[in-house]
Amino acid sequence: MSQEQKKLVEAITAMEDDFAKWYTDIVKKADLIDYSSVKGCMVIRPYGYAIWENIQKDLDRRFKETGHENVYMPLFIPESLLQKEKDHVEGFAPEVAWVTHGGDEKLTERLCVRPTSETLFCEHYSNIIESHRDLPKLYNQWCNVVRWEKTTRPFLRSREFLWQEGHTAHATKQEAVEETERMLNVYADFCRETLSMPVVKGRKTESDKFAGAKATYTIEALMHDGKALQAGTSHYFGDGFAKAFDITYTDKDNTLQYVHQTSWGVTTRLIGGMIMSHGDNNGLVVPPAVAPIQVIILPVAQHKAGVLEKARELKARLEKSFRVNIDDSDNSAGWKFAEYEMKGVPIRLEIGPRDIEKEQCVLVRRDNREKSFIKFSELESAIDAMLKDISVSLYEKALKNQNDRTYICHTADEIINVLSEKGDGFIKAMWCESEECEEKIKEQTGVGSRCIPFEQEALGDKCVCCGKPAKTMLYWGKSY
RNA sequence: CGGGAUGUGGCUCAGUUUGGUAGAGCGCUUGGUUUGGGACCAAGAUGCCGCAGGUUCGAAUCCUGUCAUCCCGACCA
């Protein structure tokens, strides 16, 4: 097989040729996951799990800074408990997995494997909340949940996935609303600062709300192929769950009151979002803040005297400030270059005999492949600056993609034309707030409502669907 | 849940039409030569052909079922 043929065989599918294939190629070849024998359940490999751990660490810090405590709830929910809140159970019933037997014995009441833990938190809150002095309760848990999805894709939609779910109880409606908004902002800040991923903040329409919620806030991100990804949600429950589960407290005037609740969550789907926001035809591009390896040291001509020693010396030194790895395997330099580009390591540090003579090494950025020669004495500051710059550049590039692919439309025909001419993206259009028009647009154009953005713009005064008066601007799009 | 495709050493696949001793390349192991963009030579190891039934003297190949993966759609978040 010639060199050229071999390259074709080993290359990942180009994203402009087949985005779905490109994505599944990357998750496998960058060694993030492996498939398992159960549909929709994947092995998260060390490199993929390390990214999740970094996401967890950063988010967990933000949760703690906003006053939250971590707890752990049971994996199982008795059927009777799940059924206490009518809308909630109706929303989740079609996709819950049930445990019916313990050993050979049939259970008297079947248990569902948690699809989300509202009911468990509510039961617990009803036990521990008595007085206004007990409020607010600001709990979060990191765990796995199971939703029996019909179609699955690694990270984007799996039957079992990892997430965090915050559940809070407050004395007043106002406090709960503030919490819902606060946590949506925490998510949006995290996406921008840590994942370099721009998001649109907004509220879901009535038909798109979480089962049992009074209001669902969402952050929506636009992927490279123009499809939208719901990256995180924050729900305001009012006192609906409190009434269903009898969560009451005695206020200062000695009267019994229902609590007001929220819940909010993000999942391993964020990893999928990260891949589809920054990846390119050479593979993954991992934002520096969550990269398991920030700097990969590649000794060049490592058999020559002094090269390996120098490389290891640099590793020991840089490890104090960054997540650093060295690859001194026998693979060729070219192979290693391609390998760590596939894995999206932000900076490659090349060190060879010629560099050592000059007291310098080569730094190559993953995002734009720019090379620079850096003196040993200036390495830390150069790497630090480069990591920060990569982070900003990734954000700007993703934001540009989002802006370039956001279109304003006034009629259904315009939407259809834009989609066929320019491909998928965000459509901004006015809406009369009727569910009927929302559905009609979905049927006619294929795009569904993503959110009612907090940042409203007056694009006109007529509904994109029925032409009647409209004051609400909606983001529409195809979604994952 | 509907339509389509696929399942053969670790990976990518050929072989299935027309049943007859399981193949290639890559990777892996050992030794040697190499090393600044996916190196080369030599010698090796690796398979109940997704799983379960059936047809047959004989099944990777034909039939039935089942599981998994991918794509499109519906559904869901």
pLDDT digits (tens, 9 = 90+) for A319-335: 999 999 999 988 889 99
Q: How many residues belong to chain A? A: 480
Contact criterion met (CB below 8 Å) for A311 and A326? yes
A267 touches strand B (CB under 7 A): no
A239 touches strand B (CB under 7 A): no
Global ipTM: 0.82
A11 touches strand B (CB under 7 A): yes
Measuring from the CA of residue A228 to each C1' atom, give the nucleotide at the shortest distance.
B77
CATH of A295-386, one of 3.40.50.300, 3.40.50.10540, 3.40.50.800, 3.40.605.10: 3.40.50.800
What's the CATH code, domain A406-477? 3.30.110.30
Q: pLDDT tens-digit profile of A135-188?
A: 999 999 999 999 988 888 999 999 999 999 999 999 999 999 999 999 999 999
Mean pLDDT within A130-136: 96
Peptide bond into A136 cis (omega under 30): yes
Residue with tokens 């919490």: A179
Q: What is the pLDDT of residue A11?
A: 64
By the 10 Å C-beta count (0-12 exposed, 13-18 middle, 19+ buried), A430 is classed as: buried
Tell me which amino acid residue A71 is. Answer: V
Measuring from the CA of residue A39 to each C1' atom, give the nucleotide at the shortest distance.
B68
* H or E stretch at A186: helix A173-193
Nearest CA to the C1' of B11 belongs to which residue? Answer: A10
- From residues 293-352 of A, list those within 7 angstroms of strand B by Cβ: 300-303, 330-335, 337-339, 341-342, 350-352
Q: How far is the CA of A348 from the C1' of B76 (A)?
A: 41
User: Domain extents for chain A?
Assistant: 19-278, 295-386, 406-477
Res A5 pLDDT > 50: no
Give buried/exposed letters for A190-222 (b at 16+ CB in 10 A, else e): bbbebbbbbbbbbbbbeebbbbbbbbbbbbbbb
Those nucleotides of strand B lying less than 7 Å from any protein Cβ are: 1-2, 12, 25-26, 33-40, 67-77
By the 10 Å C-beta count (0-12 exposed, 13-18 middle, 19+ buried), A101 is classed as: exposed
Measuring from the CA of residue A298 to each C1' atom, give the nucleotide at the shortest distance.
B36
CA distances from A463 to A209, A431, A435, A467, A474 (A): 21, 4, 12, 5, 10
DSSP three-state, residue A239: coil
> What is the Cβ-side half-sphere exposure of residue A184, based on CA atoms within 13 angstroms?
26
Q: How far is the CA of A13 from the C1' of B61 (A)?
A: 31
A376: closest CA among A345, A346, A355?
A: A355
Note the pTM of the prediction, 2 decimals: 0.94
What's the CATH code, domain A19-278? 3.30.930.10
Q: pLDDT tens-digit profile of A47-72?
A: 999 999 999 999 999 999 999 999 99
